Structure 1
Amino acid sequence: MYATPETGLIGLLILFALLLSGVPIGVALGLVGVGGLVVTLGMEPALIKTGVVLTETLTRYELGTLPLFMLMAHLFFSANASRDLFDAAAKLLGHRRGGLAYASIAGCAGFGAINGSSLATTATVGLVALPEMRSRGYSPSLATGTLAAGGTLGQMVPPSGALIVFGIIAEQSIGKLFTATLIPAATQIAFYIGVIWLLTRWRPDIAPATERAPWGERIKALGRIADMIALLFLVLGGIVLGWFSPSEASSIGTAGALAITAWRGRLTRDVLYTAFSETLRTSGLIFCVIIGAMVFSVFISVSGLTEAVGNGVTGLGLGTVPTLLLVALLLLLLGSVLDGLALMLLTTPILLPVVQSVGMSPIWFGIFLTRAMEIGFVHPPLGMNLYVIQGVAKDIPLSRIFRGVLPFLGSDLVHLLLLILFPAMAMWLPGVLGQ
């Protein structure tokens, strides 16, 4: 009797209220999901269904991918990965006008591939790059805007934690998601580099050129990151070419990170303890969120809200592009007030059927959703990356950081539009590789 779209809508509003009041994402999703199932199915069926979802989720083979990639990231962090990556990029590009800003984008992309977290990428690369740029006379607005925007690459460059979570929730191939994101990630990097190029040509004083590093120093800096880059190419190349599954790749990556950390003389008991404890803490949090999201998704499906929204949108007869523009607008509005992971978990069960109803692939939607989620990290009023950067540079006003990121935010919106107009940006490479 209560399994109606109205019940699902009420559950959605309660979830919004809980999230905005500060209740942890996983707890809020789980409470609303279980409560909604009790209302729609009854107490005993709801508890049975929740137990089934819990068991099926925790026994999924690909769930082991996430903690292994996270352990790999923590080990690389102990090996000074962020400093070495930025230093190599700075030695190669620093002598050009805006070179340290280019190096920051390259450092964010490299560390994002290792870490897979936007906030962690922004914080770690920012700690290294921001003092360097400011000491060389770079405008604080350009420096902070570059790092805030570059930090979002942590979610787009594989192996991405956001794409792993989406693959588990939407029951899609994580390997195919990693392959599909390669071209959007590369074009996003190109857009950011283009923004820096335009800004430094318009106002050369905001990013003065510095002296050229000798080739000996460049080769030495590249040598310090050669082992990490080789491991990343092995892990990602193996997934893309089908040599091994994402779960196997994460095992290879972790073993390689252990070997590299030991080779560099940093594999101590304290390093291992910190890496394991941080991995367990974060993995436990994310597993809680995933389980809550799966239960919430079942409730939304049982209530009929998903089908009602899909029928409503289809009934408008807008066509593919207008429908996707409407979805993009909704994601950007929600992303301005919700945390990125909350946005993904909240909207996937509702919007995925809508996107599929206009002929788009779930893999494409995973890339599109992650891209929209990234924009939320630099989109006011939440813009978590902007607050992270202010934490690194407390003397720079938040208003100046917001102004610095605006050109990059404009390029993000154009990039998101291109994903809508040219879905092949995400779908061409998996198709070519036969995935």
Structure 2
Amino acid sequence: MITTELIGIFGIVLLLALLAGGVPIGIGLLVVGLGGLAVLISPEAALIKGGVVSFEILSKYELGVLPLFLLMAHICFAAGASRDFFDVAAKFVGHRRGGLALASIGGCAGFGAISGSSLATVATISSVALPEMRKAGYHPGFASGALAAGGTLGSLIPPSGALIVFGIIAEQSIGKLFAAAVVPGLSQAVFYLITIVILCAIKPELGPATARVPWRERLPALRKVIDIFALIFFVIGGMMIGWFTPTEAASVGVVVSLVLLAIRGGFKLPAITRALKDTLRTTGMIYVVIIGALVFAAFVGVSGITEALSALVTDLHASPLLAIVVMALVLLLLGSFLDGVALMLLTTPIFLPIAEQLGYSPIWFGIFLVRTMEIGFVHPPLGLNIYVIQGLAKDLSLGTIFRGVIPFLVADFIHLGVIIAVPALTLWLPGIVAG
């Protein structure tokens, strides 16, 4: 007998097959979701659900935060923020062993705070930092591994695009998600810095020290990023302490970034036009993905898969910690062939209700999910960040880059373990903000 759960499982398998075949994630989610609802309920009900979801998303005021933050990021790109972040970090720590690698992590963290994207962060910072490190005699695998890992900071450090999408799908406060991401994001960067220091202490030839830059050159470099950092702290901090709603914060960020662009002398029609085009292109793609994800979530809910998995966990009498570890292993396995957004949208409707039933906060689960998703950006065989770097430095083999990222993967797994074992590290700041 064909049960609704079997239909749901078949739908998930079909979706994975479509994604493996190169079908865009938004289209795959929409097709499988509508098809599944048509089978389980009726074709008319499926079409009505698709129409209702599309209307609700397109008319949702809160979703305006996404294109606004994207526009703020693209305006900051035009203002030259990417080179400035790496340049100031390199001037302060470049004279130490592995200093340029340390600077690349700092640049990724700073740029991630305005880009909200792992791929954008690794592509932009690598284009600046990788030639400098190779010129200084850094081992190619070590240099590219540090950049690949550092790029993942863009997915977690606020304003994270992945957290915005999760907040919309899971109906959670974006402001609380951003607050919850601060400590994990900063501690992730610290783990990478420690990894670099240890590696260069063991094998100094990995990252030779460069000439020390005098203070008279460091301070002018620092002044070049003070305005961008002020923008980030004003927008994100104002949202966390309640000065702005997320949409208002993003709107203020766009206005202030335009002012900074004008002050930096980049307020020109081609730059503004390019920023608007890039924002509209990315926003349109994300809207399709969100609509598809919500339709797919409705199909998963009707199929009863979530309830069946929850009952299975309950019947096994597994501890909440063990259940979360199993989820992490499944996410890491799926992350070996799915991109991060696909992974998040596929698994949120299934895993989030189970995590809530086990007593985990949905805010914590959002951070856990994005952190696990980030690891997929650097572990084989997909490792999208690896392919981005290889595209920038075609003389580097994929094997060289993957080998270089292994120590950082170890740091990733340790950091993920800390997030799982100590949820308070994620939840204490949202608690303070809420209080």
Question: Which residue identity does 2:175 align to in structure 1?
Answer: G
Aligned partner of 1:266 in structure 2 is 266
Secondary structure, aligned partner of 2:434:
coil
Could you say which residue in structure 1 is the equivalent of 2:314?
Answer: 314
C-alpha distance in structure 1 between counterparts of 2:64 and 2:125, whole Å: 27
Offset of residue 434 of structure 1: 2.2
- How far the C-alpha of 1:433 sits from its partner, in A, is 2.3
Instruction: Indicate the larger mover: 1-10 or 361-370.
Output: 1-10
Structure-2-length-normalised TM-score = 0.98
The amino acid of 1:268's aligned partner reads: K
In 1, the alpha carbon distance for the partners of 2:175 and 2:2 equals 39
Is 1:116 matched up with 2:116? yes
Q: In structure 1, what is the Cα distance between the partners aligned to 2:254 and 2:376?
A: 30
Per the alignment, residue 367 of structure 2 pairs with: 367
Aligned pairs for 1:294-373 (under 5 A) are: 294-373=294-373
Tell me the distance in 2 between the aligned counterparts of 1:268 and 1:74: 14
Q: Which residue of 1 aligns with 2:410?
A: 410
SS of residue matched to 1:181: helix
Alignment-mate amino acid for residue 28 of structure 1: G
**Partner secondary structure for residue 433 of structure 1:** helix
Partner of 2:38: 38
| Contact kept in structure 2, 1:9 and 1:305, CA below 8 Å | yes
The CA distance in 1 between the partners of 2:85 and 2:140, in whole Å, is 22
Task: Tell which deviates more after alignment, 22-31 or 265-274.
Answer: 265-274
Q: Identity of counterpart residues, as a percentage? A: 58
Unpaired stretches in structure 1, ≥5 consecutive residues: none
The corresponding residue for 1:88 is 88
How many Å apart are 1:95 and its aligned residue? Answer: 1.1
Alpha-carbon distance between aligned partners in 1 of 2:312 and 2:79, rounded to the nearest angstrom: 52
The one-letter amino acid of 1:245's match is: T
Q: Distance in 2 between matches of 1:314 and 1:181?
A: 30
**Displacement of 1:6:** 1.2
How far 1:90 moved relative to its partner?
Answer: 0.6
The number of aligned residues is 435
1:92-127 CA-partner distances (Å, limit 9, x unpaired): 111111111111000000001110111111011001
Are 1:3 and 1:41, in contact at CA under 8 Å, matched by a contact in 2?
Answer: no
Number of the residue aligned with 1:181: 181
Paired letter, 1:29: L
Q: Could you tell me how far apart the structure 2 residues matched to 1:167 and 1:219 are?
A: 39
Cα distance in 1, alignment partners of residues 402 and 427 from structure 2: 33
Q: Which moved more, 1:130-139 or 1:146-155?
A: 130-139
Q: Give CA-to-partner distance per residue, 1:130-189, whole Å, 9 cap, x none.
A: 111111111111110000000000001100000000000000000000000101001101
Q: Residue in 2 aligned with 1:18?
A: 18
In 2, Cα distance between equivalents of 1:212 and 1:117: 32
8 Å contact 1:3–1:304 — kept in the other structure? no
1:105 aligns with: 105
* Two-structure CA RMSD over aligned residues (Å): 1.1
Alpha carbons of structure 1 residues 164 and 3: separation in structure 2 relative to 1, 3 Å: farther
Amino acid at match of 2:42: G
Could you report, residue by residue, the CA deviation over 1:300-343 in whole angstroms, capped at 9, with x for unpaired residues? 10111111111112211110111111000000000011011000
1:231-267 Cα distance to aligned partner (Å, 9 max, x none)? 0110111112111111111001111111111111111
CA contact (8 A) 1:2 1:40 kept: no
User: Which whole-Å CA distance do the structure 2 matches of 1:51 and 1:315 have between them?
Assistant: 38
The one-letter code sitting in structure 2 at the alignment partner of 1:336 is S
Q: Deviations over 1:380-404 (max 9, x none)?
A: 0000101111111111111111111
* Residue identity in the other structure for 2:255: A
- One-letter code of the match for 1:193? L
User: Counterparts of 2:309 and 2:232 in 1: how far apart (Å)?
Assistant: 41
SS at match of 1:265: coil
Give 2:69's aligned residue. Answer: 69
Deviation, structure 1 residue 32: 0.6
Counterpart of 1:130 in structure 2 is 130
Give distance in 2, aligned partners of 1:432 and 1:288.
35
The answer for unaligned runs of 5 or more in structure 2 is none
Are 2:236 and 1:203 equivalent residues in the alignment? no
Counterpart Cα distance in 2 of 1:2 and 1:299: 16
Q: Residues of 2 paired with 1:357 and 1:2: CA distance? A: 27
The answer on whether the counterparts of 1:3 and 1:302 sit within 8 Å (CA) in structure 2 is no
TM-score (norm 1): 0.98
For residues 349 and 211 of structure 1, the distance between their equivalents in structure 2, rounded to whole angstroms, comes to 52
What letter is aligned with 1:138? Y
CA contact (8 A) 1:136 1:210 kept: yes
Letter in 2 for 1:94: G
**Alpha-carbon deviation of 1:3?**
7.0
User: Distance in 1 between the 2:289 and 2:433 partners?
Assistant: 33
